[in-house]
């Protein structure tokens, strides 16, 4: 048999194995997460190796949502995420339009600033912001956290939106201008309606950052339990011995599910927006 035939045969066997392994390694932990969340803690202790609960229970979810306060945490996370998305869009739409269309002083330097902010380590920023918020008495308030999230997402969202705005034909905008539109009403009536997919992707990105973030939530909110986000709540309760692991697993599902649903609802938009630069190589 020639080398080519051997290699092809080998690949024919190897490829499904690799694919199966990848699927197992990524899907199994989440399957395990869901299965743990619907069983009683006694069952886990007695039979740690079993994958299918002998009796399904949803008491874990009732417990985590009410007694452990996850309903409050969900409300906090939702407020933070929605506010971050709204303000991020409000700021990055005009910013991206300016970078895409208008020639102004410092336009080239702006790119450099954004790249620097994108790559900038959060742990360095954490120190002065922690000190500042302590001095201002803003620790424990959600507003400070929202501000930080906006600053961290705006550079990326401006970049994503700019890529899209550049694909909107300039002639459409010129036509609007001739019809008497001002610059702002051109953006509002012509550019934005044409950019709905990009706006969706940008909003999803900002939402995911705000929902998943941990370090700043930990630094700013840890002392006030009623302000905890879902991420912070789970991380703080995970160390306690009194709360059964199965109840906390229900908490993980509550934390993970919204983000997974949102991601796959807008997946195509999001991955195209983020990897747009990759195709140019």
| Of 57-65, 115-123, 163-171, 194-202: span binding other proteins (CB under 8 A) | 115-123
CB atoms within 10 A of CB 54: 9
> How many other β-carbons are positioned within 10 Å of the β-carbon of residue 18?
11
Distance of alpha carbon 37 from alpha carbon 53, whole angstroms: 10
Measured from the CB atom, is 55 or 124 closer to other proteins?
Answer: 124
Q: Which of 75, 72, 67 is nearest to 244 (CA)?
A: 67
Single residue of 84, 155, 186, 247 touching other proteins by CB under 8 A: 155
Q: Does 36 bind other proteins (CB under 8 A)?
A: yes
Smallest gap from Cβ 281 to other proteins, in A, equals: 5
**Rounded CA Rg of the chain:** 24
Distance from C-alpha of 2 to C-alpha of 186, rounded to nearest angstrom: 65
Residue 42 within binding range of other proteins, rule CB under 8 A:
no
The Cα–Cα gap between 127 and 143 comes to 18
- CA dist 82 and 248 (Å) reads 25
- Specify the stretch interacting with other proteins by CB under 8 A; choose among 67-75, 169-177, 188-196, 213-221: 213-221
Residues from 135 through 154 that contact other proteins (CB under 8 A): 135, 147-148, 150-151, 154
Site size for other proteins, by CB under 8 A? Answer: 96
Determine, following the binding rule CB under 8 A, whether residue 221 of this chain makes contact with other proteins. no
Member of 62, 127, 172, 175 binding other proteins (CB under 8 A): 127
Q: Which of 65, 83, 99, 198 forms a contact with other proteins (CB under 8 A)? A: 99
Q: Which residue from 1, 55, 123, 178 is in contact with other proteins, where contact means CB under 8 A? A: 123
Cβ–Cβ < 8 Å for 139, 126: no
Considering only residues 143, 182, 185, 188, which one is a binding residue for other proteins as defined by CB under 8 A? 182
Q: Which helix (H) or strand (E) holds 22?
A: helix 3-37
How distant is the alpha carbon of residue 140 from its chain centre?
22
Instruction: Tell whether residue 78 is a contact of other proteins (CB under 8 A).
Output: no
**Shortest distance, CB of residue 14 to other proteins, whole angstroms?**
9
């Amino acid at each position: 048999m020639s080398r080519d035939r051997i290699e092809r045969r080998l690949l024919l066997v190897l490829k499904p194995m690799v694919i199966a392994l990848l699927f197992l390694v990524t899907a199994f932990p989440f399957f395990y997460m869901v299965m743990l969340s619907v069983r009683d803690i006694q069952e886990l202790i007695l039979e740690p190796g079993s994958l299918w609960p002998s009796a399904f229970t949803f008491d874990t979810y009732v417990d985590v949502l009410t007694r452990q306060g996850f309903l409050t945490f969900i409300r906090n996370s939702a407020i933070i995420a929605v506010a971050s998305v709204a303000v991020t869009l409000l700021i990055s739409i005009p910013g991206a339009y300016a970078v895409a269309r208008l020639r102004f002083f410092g336009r080239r330097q702006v790119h450099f600033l954004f790249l620097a902010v994108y790559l900038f380590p959060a742990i360095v920023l954490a120190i002065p912001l922690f000190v500042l918020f302590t001095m201002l008495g803003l620790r424990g308030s959600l507003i400070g956290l929202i501000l930080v999230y906006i600053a961290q997402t705006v550079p990326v969202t401006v970049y994503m939106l700019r890529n899209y705005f550049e694909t909107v034909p300039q002639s459409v905008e010129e036509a609007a201008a001739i019809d008497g539109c001002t610059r702002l009403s051109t953006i509002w009536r012509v550019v934005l309606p044409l950019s709905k997919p990009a706006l969706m992707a940008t909003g999803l990105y900002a939402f995911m950052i705000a929902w998943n973030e941990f370090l700043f939530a930990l630094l700013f909110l840890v002392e006030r339990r009623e302000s905890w986000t879902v991420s912070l709540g789970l991380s703080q309760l995970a160390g306690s011995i009194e709360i059964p692991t199965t109840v906390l697993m229900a908490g993980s599902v509550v934390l993970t599910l919204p983000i997974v649903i949102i991601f796959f609802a807008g997946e195509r938009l999001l991955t195209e927006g983020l990897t747009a630069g990759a195709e140019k190589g």
